[in-house]
Structures are given as structure tokens and as C-alpha cells.
Amino acid sequence: LLRKLLLKPSLPQFPICRTACDIPLKKYDVIVVGGGHAGTEAAAAAARVGAETLLITQKIQTIGTLSCNPSLGGVGKGQLERSSCLGPPAQLDRERYRQFIQTELLATPRLTVLEGSVEDLLLSDPNPDQPGQHRVTGIRLVDGGQPVSSNSVVLTTGTFLSGSLFMGQTTSPGGRIGDPPSCPGLSHSLREKLGLRTGRLRTGTPPRIVKKTVELSLAQIHPPDKQPTPFSYLNKKTHCKPEEQLPCYLTHTTPGVERVVMEGLRLNSHIQQDTKGPRYCPSIESRVLRFPGRSHQVWLEPEGLTSDLLYPQGLSMTLPPELQLRLLREIPALQRAEIQTPGYGVQYDFVCPTQLSPSLQVKRVQGLFLAGQINGTTGYEEAAAQGLWAGVNAGRTALSLPALSLSRTQSYIGVLIDDLVCRGVTEPYRMFTSRAEFRTALRPDNADLRLSPRGFEEIGCVSAHRYEEAVRVRDSLRDALSALRSISMSSTRWREKMGDVNVSESRSTMPSALDLLQYNGVTFEMLASAFPECLSMYLEFSQRLKIEAIYLPHCERQKREMERMREEESLSLPLDVDYFSLPISLSQEVREVLDHARPHTLGAATRLPGMTPAAIVHLLNYVRKSG
């Protein structure tokens, strides 16, 4: 049914409503609150799986806004876009990106967008048979308090939940500069009515600099790629033409920068707070305090193709504006710099994510899903990845389909969500390749093969076009690998055939073309020109085949470990079990850990901090006996 719905040529309905009176008075399947990176993905995904979806966000014009840097991807980030391990990065045109996201949403069938602010959640009366369990039934808007009903709600309020902005000694309520925070009613409901544990985190952004006031000749130019690679497998080229691209520039802080930071410390309330900030994109104040006497890199990134502004990556700061200007001017390339908007910090509430199930549904509130910065993560990509998954599951729940989870063995999104719900966060969570056990299998070149078939066949959130392309690639790669395996000969004959290639003599078997492709300096093109009749038809996949060949031995070694993890993840733990009275040998500490986290599977239990190998064995025996 879902596939039919997706394939049915339906005219985009995309109503955009500026006031609550304009929205169709009906019960929605899914309401998504917030139009940031998590919210836009959640709304699009819920609509794609077949749910009538309403996206409510404070300002339609800020849908898809990049709150901080004009870039996506990079190590630990690009792998979420492609669920890959190499992390391809891209510099973005902030304005074009926002417009592109808005156009995409407008063209999504079954999706209505409403400009408005959500004041509170609507909840059904608690079920007397299940004390502490709630069900969400919709939301209430501010200004008139109009209720809108739905089966599921996805909250993606980012840095807006009880948000406060900091600059120097000035603090003001806000979720982002120019935007008010979320209504206090929402935080109150989450904490007081639903009893959810929340915490407080912070982040910050640098001043934006007027480009024409920067001495770019005093910085080191970093030209863009001659042939940029698009993120999407479906795009053969990037939206921006190669010749249109702009360079970035590298410069460094000086001892003068450190002096200004130290001088301004007593005037800098944000930095004096204990609230934890993002460790891996720290403010210049944190960098100076942690590493005194060092010079730090500063990347000057264009904000867009026609923008007059530069974003100084590495100079996030919350000093008073006059000190921000003094600090910038301590850097030779910025000695005459003018600031368009000063840097500032934001502190906000997050919901401790161990209270969520792997579908991103709040365990004690049926139908309520959380995604993005509200779960304690930082970054556009982390938010978008969660939004996608929360949207899929909110849509499925509303359509009475079972919720789904993604395994750590299958995708980086699976790793991210598993880390959040099993381990929780003590500081803003950022994705790294090192967080994945099987990163040689989770690669940029095979993300489409790992996830597109499941997205189409099981979930219905992938288009037929994307699926068909993934299947074509999968089948061609399988045939190409088998052709490479079928060509084998002695090392001596290989040396004769391939010239300079130093084929190892120590092999007991005859090396195949696939073995040879693992060698440095051997390309698929070389093999295809030696054996054109068997290989030339696969030239389109040269790069993917080379990568496949290099990683093949690692992946083979990891297979058993992956199987073990998959098996553990298939062993469900009952959610209502009383761990304190379970008749198996577990320490009191382990019982407390299990009672607190209530893991869904044995696999999730093994990853809880405080679990011991002995406890896992006892739990495994218990699951096997009871299941």
C-alpha cells in the first residue's frame, strides 16, 4: 500500500498557511514542531511514508536555516549524509541551501506547512492500568490556543527550548539571533507533566565579517575541488558549476588574540558558566584557556556565492562586541575587518535521550518522538539524521505500522541513535567515524547499497527512481567482482601482462584480478584495458571497485563480529521486566543500570556503561530460556 501511495502520481498539494485559521480542520497523522534540519527531514520522511503531515514552525522564511557555519559534512559528519566513513565535506551557499530545502518541502505531497508557535502538547488522560504512561493527541498553538490533533508528534525545537542568548554580560531570551525561544509551556510539559529528565547545554557562533574589509592576500588560499563530487548518488554534477565555486582562506591566531580573550574573561558570562559546550568546535575562549600560548587555525569561509560576508571558522566567541572587533584585528589578515553581526552564545534545555526507544519515541509517551538538538546532539547532520528516522517512525506509528530501528552494523544513523538511547549524553554529542565498530563496511561508496533497498522495499521513504538506480549499481558491482575473481594467473604471468606491478611471489594460490586491484598503483582502468572483453563494461564503477577491493579483506574479517552483534540485537528484552527480582545472578549495580535504561535488546544491554561480561552471559541465558 505504501509503495502504491508513493508511486501514485499525485499532484503536490503543498498548502502553506501563515495563520492557524487557514489550516484544514482535520486530524493529522503526524505533526512536526520546528523547521530546522531535524524538522524538515522529519516532515518530509513522514509524508513520504504515507502520513498526512503538518509542519509547524515559528517562521516559514527560516525553514532550512544553517544557524552557524556555511558547510556540511566533513569527517564524522559527511558519513551521516551518505552514511559513509570517509566524510565528504561541502561548502554551502547559505541562501541557496535554504531556498532548496523550502522548494523540496513545497513539492512534497501530503505535507502542509504552518507558520506558528506550539505552546503545549495535548495528552490523553493517563491510563490507570499503566501509571506514568501517556499518549500524545496533538498540540496547542499560542495566540488563541487552537488545538490541532494528530496521532504522532515529532518535537525538533533545536536550541529553542528555554533558550537564552549570551553576548558579553548581556543575556536575553532567544533560540537563535532574531528568533524568540520556544514557549515556556513546552519545557514545563516535558518536565512537569511527563516527568522527563532534562539538562542544559550551550553552543556559540563567530562574528560574521564584511569580506571587502579583509586582506585576503595575507591568508593562505585553499582553492575548491576542480571536479566537485555531489553528495547524492543521483546527481552526476553539483548544483554549483565548478568554475562558479569560491575558495576558502586559512589564517592563524596571534598572541594578541589570547591577550584580548584573557582581558575580556570577566566580561564574558557565557564562558564563566559550567554548562557544557561542543568539545569539537570550541569557542576561541575555550581554546585559549585549554591551550595557552598556542596559535590556532582560522578558516575564512564564504557565506555564499554572492554574499558579502565571511564566516571565520574557529573564532566562535561571546565577548562584548567591542572586544570581538579588537580580537579580530589582532590577526594580520583581519587588521581592518568590520563586523556585520557579532558572535554570540546560546544555552538551551535538552531531553536526556536515554528516555527514548531506538525509534526515537519517548518511552513513556506513546506517539511522541524527539529529534535533533533537543536530544543533546550538536550539528546539522546529526539533527537531520535523527529527523529522518523520527519522521519515518512517527509516520509508521500513526498508520498503525510497527516502529523500526536501524542497526549499528548497517548505518551511521544506527550508531548515532544507539549511542544516544543507550549511553545518553554528558556534553553536546557529535558523530565521529571512531564511534562505529564496523566503519570499513559503512563507507561512502556503498551507502546506497546498504540503505536504499530497505528504504524502498520495507519503509517506503525512498523513491522508485533512487531504488532502481541502487539495484542497477548493486547488480553491476556483483557482476564486476565476479568477473575480477574469475581472471587469475601466476605471479609471473601477471608481471608480464601488467608491466611494472610488483606481484608478490609468496602466494600459494594464483592471484586473481581482484587480488591485484588491492595493490597500490593498480587501477581498474589498467585491468580493463588488459581484459577489455570481460571488464570494460564496468568502467563506470572503477572507483567503487577499487575501494571495494581494498576493503574486502577487512570486511571479511569483520563479518563474524557483525553477525554476533546482529544476533544480540535480534534478542528482545521485555520492556516491563522487573530487573530487581529477576532470578539470575546480577549485581545490584547492574540491576540498577538495566532498570534505569530498560534496553530493548540484548545488544543494547551490552553497550550500557556499567554492564559486565558476566552479566551479559546471564542475561543471554535468561533471554534464550524465556524466548
Residues that bind ligand FAD (CB under 6 A): 33-39, 56-58, 62, 67-68, 117-118, 156-160, 175-176, 179, 182-183, 186, 203-205, 278, 281, 316, 346, 372-373, 378-380, 383
In this structure, are residues 480 and 545 in contact, taking their beta carbons and an 8 Å threshold?
A: yes
For 539, counting Cβ atoms within 10 Å of its Cβ (0-12 exposed, 13-18 middle, 19+ buried), the class is middle
The three-class DSSP label of residue 57 is: strand
> Residue 186 or 425: which CB sits closer to ligand FAD?
186
Q: What is the DSSP string of 113-157?
A: EEE--EEEEEEPPPPTTSTT-EEEEEEEESSS--EEEEEEEEE--
CB of 106 to ligand FAD, least distance (A): 16
Work out the end-to-end distance of the chain between its first and last CA atoms, rounded to an integer number of angstroms. Answer: 32
Beta carbon nearer to ligand FAD, 187 or 366: 187
| CA pair distance 458, 101, nearest whole angstrom | 26
Cβ 521 to ligand FAD shortest distance, Å: 38
User: Is the CB of 117 or the CB of 558 nearer to ligand FAD?
Assistant: 117
Q: Is 338 left (phi over 0), alpha (psi -120 to 50) or beta?
A: beta
Residue 456 CB, nearest approach to ligand FAD (Å): 25
Q: In DSSP terms, which residues pair with 198 in a beta bridge?
A: 351
Within 8 A by CB and 6+ apart from 212, the residues are 308
Closer residue to ligand FAD in complex, CB, 152/378: 378
Rounded to the nearest whole angstrom, what is the least distance from the CB of residue 151 to ligand FAD in the complex? 19
Longest pairwise C-alpha distance within the chain: 83
Lookup: cell for 87: 566524510
Which lies closer to ligand FAD via its Cβ, residue 178 or residue 332?
178
Cβ 136 to ligand FAD, closest distance in Å? 15
CB of 86 to ligand FAD, least distance (A): 19
State which residue, 253 or 316, has the beta carbon closest to ligand FAD.
316
In angstroms, rounded to a whole number, what is the distance separating the alpha carbons of residues 80 and 432?
10
Helical (H) or strand (E) element with 31: strand 28-33
Q: Which residue's CB is nearer to ligand FAD, number 275 or number 518?
A: 275
Instruction: Rank residues 157 and 407 by Cβ distance to ligand FAD and give the closer one.
Output: 157
Using the minimum distance from each CB to ligand FAD, give the nearer residue, 39 or 395: 39
Q: Are 570 and 539 in contact (CB under 8 A)?
A: no
Q: Annotate 136-171 with b (16+ C-beta within 10 A) or e (fewer).
A: bbbbbbeeeebebebbbbbbbbbbbbbbbbbbbeee
- Report, in Å, the least distance between residue 343 CB and ligand FAD: 8
Concatenating the DSSP letter of every residue in 176-228 gives BTTB----HHHHHIIIIIS---EEEEEEEEPPEEEGGGS-GGGSEEEPPPSSP
* Owner of C-alpha cell 540503505: 451
Instruction: Quote the least distance from Cβ 541 to ligand FAD, whole Å.
Output: 33
DSSP state of 338: -
| Residue with Cβ nearer ligand FAD (205 or 405) | 205
Least distance from ligand FAD to the Cβ atom of residue 580, Å = 36
Min dist CB 430 to ligand FAD, Å, is 7
User: Residue 365 belongs to what H/E stretch?
Assistant: strand 365-366
**Beta-strand relationship, 28-33 and 170-173:** unpaired
CA distance 376 to 428: 5
- CA-angle at 430, arms to 424 and 435, nearest 5°: 75
Q: How far is the CB of 56 from ligand FAD (least distance, A)?
A: 5
Tell me whether residue 38 or residue 573 sits nearer to ligand FAD (CB atom). 38
In angstroms, the CA 389 to CA 530 distance is 46
With H, G, I as helix, E, B as strand and everything else as coil, classify residue 620.
helix
Closest to ligand FAD by CB, 184 vs 242, is: 184
> Are residues 388 and 413 in contact, defined by beta-carbon separation less than 8 angstroms?
yes
Quick one: the chain helix, strand, coil %, rounded to 5?
40, 20, 40
With CA atoms as reference, report the closest residue to 418 among 401, 435, 403. Answer: 435
For the CB of residue 179, give the shortest distance to ligand FAD in the complex, in Å: 6
Residue among 118 and 517 whose Cβ is closer to ligand FAD = 118
Cβ closest to ligand FAD, residue 86 vs residue 177: 177
Residue with cell 569580506: 211
CB-nearer residue toward ligand FAD: 47 or 514? 47
Query: How deeply is 620 buried, as exposed, middle or buried, from its count of CB atoms within 10 A (0-12, 13-18, 19+)?
Result: middle
| Least distance between ligand FAD and beta carbon 320 (Å) | 17
Q: What's the min distance (Å) between Cβ of 433 and ligand FAD?
A: 16
In the complex, the smallest distance separating the C-beta of residue 422 from ligand FAD, rounded to whole angstroms, is 20
